[in-house]
Structure 1
Amino acid sequence: MDLNILWFILITVLFVGFFFLEGFDFGVGILLPFLGKNDQERRVVINTIGPHWDGNEVWLITAGGAMFAAFPNWYATLFSGFFLALFLVLFSLIIRGVAFEFRSSDPSPLWRNTWDWVIFTGSLLSAILWGVAVTNLLKGVPINAEMQYVGTFFDLLSPYTIIGGLTTLLVFMFHGALFLSLKTTGDMAERSLKIAQRIALVAIPVVLLLAGLTYYQTDLFASLGAGITLIGSGVTLILAAVFLKTRKNGWAFVTNGVTILLFTVSVFWGLFPRVMISSLNANWSLTIYNASSSPYTLKIMTIVAMIMVPIVLIYQGWTYWVFRNRVTEKNLHY
């Protein structure tokens, strides 16, 4: 198999894993100040993702490392052109991590409430910015013949990309609410289901709007498979809402996860074989060939990945199995 294609697929898989796993992390963080009525309830909410949030972020680190090694020109153009946007993403992830660690170091209500809102802010920024970044990849950005981004931060903002940010925000919030309904009990689980239903009512029309704008703003639908996959993400989101209505919240969570998977796959499928689209000249777009490392480098990376990736997947799967039970106030350690 063409190793350039293989590594493009692997990076797609890494982003699917990141958005699926970190998606409910972000959603839980955003809902934290609103679902938790007191400190004990907020601790329950945090503990649902406590064993997992840092492991989930490893998917992003691995995706970035894979981009750097397999497609260095893509990495260089993306991280230089999207510097401020990606800096904000990293800043939001950092303050979330700090907040998770610092929150319990002082019993003061003011201290803990402050860090709760830091978790909310970091999760909110991340959820929005990823949608803005992804839709910019589809829409195209100003890249010159030297593979250099020649725009500004504000070139990344448009009605289309803002709708993209709102889409990921709502889908991740829905994902987080469903996750909490599965990981908590009693009144907390019921409140999670109710807020999930409200989010779904807003998320569905926004996702359908994004699909319509994508048809007019990008060439994603030039690929039949990408177009069908994007439409499929809207269908599965509606199915998730239907499952939720019948209180099959486990199926709703899985189906919404499929929504995230299909949406992410549609983006990369629509890009292929490009990795970044130039809005100045289509011939200046970065592809999996003009942005890649040497064949020998890709070969060595493939051997290493075949050994390490299964180990990482088994380990992370084991952690989810160990912490599979619901979290209650009885599980809190004082």
Structure 2
Amino acid sequence: MELTVIWFIAISVLWTGYFVLEGFDFGVGTLMSFMGGRDSVDRRVALNSIGPVWDANEVWLITALGATFAAFPAWYASLLSGFYAPMFLILVALILRGVAFEYRGKRDSAPWRAWWDRAILLGSVLPAFLWGVVFANIVRGVAMDADQVVTASVPDLLNPYALLGGLTTLSLFTLHGAVFLTLKTDGPVRVRARRAALWAACAAVPSGTLFLAWTQLAHGGGTRTLPLVLIAATALVGGVAAAWHRREGWSFAFTAVTVLTVFAALFGSLFPNVLPSTTDPAFGLTVSNASSAEYTLTLMSWVAVVFLPLVLLYQGWSYWVFRRRVTGETVTGATVTRGEDRDGRPEPAV
């Protein structure tokens, strides 16, 4: 197998791993404001469920972008220039979200925390939607000239297929995050998260099904991607059914498989292209004309063989260390009366 193909697969794995892990982070951030009252311990419970892992999950994004730059520099250049507006908004949202995570608890003030909660919501919803828009356009293709410069405008990127892709990733990540909360928390947050998962499924199932069908029919790789599409649809339904029956571990496994196979199907539909051209297929980028020199790919392969297992072992260890459920007692260090917030005010009934 050629190194260009191996690195296309490797980059696909890195991007897919990022969305599986960061997907539930986005979902938790989207739902956090709905997990309790304005000054609620329950919001802190939701936030603490991803506190030890959210920044480690973002390392997958840095690695995926770095690998894309090193292995396929022309692809990287086209992505960051042709998709400048959505990529810039994603970057700003991720920065805002990270700052909000760190600064939310710096002052004991309900208005202070409320503003940062809004920042977490915006910093989670915006990337969850825009990543779907970006990757749908990558699979669909964009207008490019003979010099392989993307000429598509922002309105061109907001086509119906891409908007459906954004709705699919937003609803799917919200479902994934809600299921994660049922698995990682206890008490009122767990109850609310289970309810949120069932509501998120009302959007994720129809949008995901339509998006997968559209992808397979219009842009799919035939028999190469059909099994992945079927697995994704089956896992999505299975995750919702498991959530309904309160099988939280199975539900999270199913939603993780759904995210994994959706993006695997997108990359499978894309290959051997990396960015098709809707102007003229000859203007598009492929694994052959967008790749680095063989020496660069060989050196990268040896670096990956040495360091990637270490990174995976460390991240797996961190998840194992922080595997316990988060409750109000664990975040306050004291017994919290169920149905009351930190200041003793009654919370809305669950």
Q: TM bucket by the smaller chain? A: over 0.9
1:24 aligns with 2:24: yes
Secondary structure of the equivalent of 2:317? helix
Show CA shifts across 1:227-277 (max 9, x none): 331232112101111111221111011011000010010011111111001
CA contact 2:144–2:278 (8 Å) conserved in 1: yes
Q: Which runs of 4+ in 1 moved over 2 A?
A: 36-39, 211-216
> Size of the alignment, in residue pairs?
332
CA contact 2:216–2:225 (8 Å) conserved in 1: no
1:206, CA displacement in angstroms? 1.1
Q: Which amino acid aligns with 2:329?
A: K
Secondary structure of the equivalent of 1:290? coil
Distance across 1 between alignment mates of 2:82 and 2:176: 30
Which residue is equivalent to 1:253?
Answer: 252
Secondary structure of the equivalent of 1:104? coil
Which residue is equivalent to 2:119?
Answer: 118
CA contact 1:240–1:252 (8 Å) conserved in 2: yes
Which residue is equivalent to 2:320?
Answer: 321
Which residue is equivalent to 1:283?
Answer: 282
CA contact 2:128–2:170 (8 Å) conserved in 1: yes
RMSD across aligned positions (CA): 1.2
Give unpaired runs (5+ residues) of structure 1: none
1:262-273 paired onto structure 2 within 5 Å? 262-273=261-272
1:193 aligns with 2:187: no
Which residue is equivalent to 2:13?
Answer: 13
CA contact 1:36–1:45 (8 Å) conserved in 2: no
CA contact 1:174–1:196 (8 Å) conserved in 2: yes
CA contact 1:144–1:284 (8 Å) conserved in 2: yes
Secondary structure of the equivalent of 1:145? coil
Q: Which amino acid aligns with 1:236?
A: A
1:111-190 paired onto structure 2 within 5 Å? 111-190=112-191
Which residue is equivalent to 1:58?
Answer: 59
Give unpaired runs (5+ residues) of structure 2: 334-350
1:128, CA displacement in angstroms? 0.2
Q: Which amino acid aligns with 1:283?
A: A
Show CA shifts across 1:297-330 (max 9, x none): 0000000110110111011111101100001122
1:147, CA displacement in angstroms? 1.2
Distance across 2 between alignment mates of 1:67 and 1:207: 27
CA contact 2:45–2:331 (8 Å) conserved in 1: yes
Distance across 1 between alignment mates of 2:69 and 2:193: 39
Give the TM-score normalised by the residue count of structure 1: 0.97
Distance across 1 between alignment mates of 2:329 and 2:35: 18
1:46 aligns with 2:47: yes
* Identity fraction in percent: 46
Higher helix share: 1
Show CA shifts across 1:146-197 (max 9, x none): 1110121121001111111000000000000000001111222111111111
Q: Which amino acid aligns with 2:215?
A: T
Greater shift in the superposed pair: 116-125 or 203-212? 203-212
1:198, CA displacement in angstroms? 1.6
Distance across 2 between alignment mates of 1:228 and 1:271: 15
Distance across 1 between alignment mates of 2:178 and 2:44: 16
Distance across 2 between alignment mates of 1:212 and 1:15: 22
CA contact 2:97–2:124 (8 Å) conserved in 1: yes
Distance across 2 between alignment mates of 1:261 and 1:76: 26
1:333, CA displacement in angstroms? 4.8
Give the TM-score normalised by the residue count of structure 2: 0.93
Distance across 1 between alignment mates of 2:324 and 2:265: 33
Distance across 2 between alignment mates of 1:287 and 1:223: 19
CA contact 2:216–2:222 (8 Å) conserved in 1: no
CA contact 2:28–2:177 (8 Å) conserved in 1: yes
Secondary structure of the equivalent of 1:279? coil
Q: Which amino acid aligns with 2:135?
A: V
Distance across 2 between alignment mates of 1:23 and 1:183: 15
Greater shift in the superposed pair: 313-322 or 182-191? 182-191
Greater shift in the superposed pair: 107-116 or 34-43? 34-43
Which residue is equivalent to 1:310?
Answer: 309
Distance across 1 between alignment mates of 2:90 and 2:230: 28
Show CA shifts across 1:93-127 (max 9, x none): 00000000111111110000100110000100010
1:215, CA displacement in angstroms? 4.2
1:223 aligns with 2:229: no
Distance across 2 between alignment mates of 1:47 and 1:288: 41
Secondary structure of the equivalent of 1:275? strand
1:87 aligns with 2:88: yes
Distance across 1 between alignment mates of 2:332 and 2:35: 20
Distance across 2 between alignment mates of 1:306 and 1:208: 37
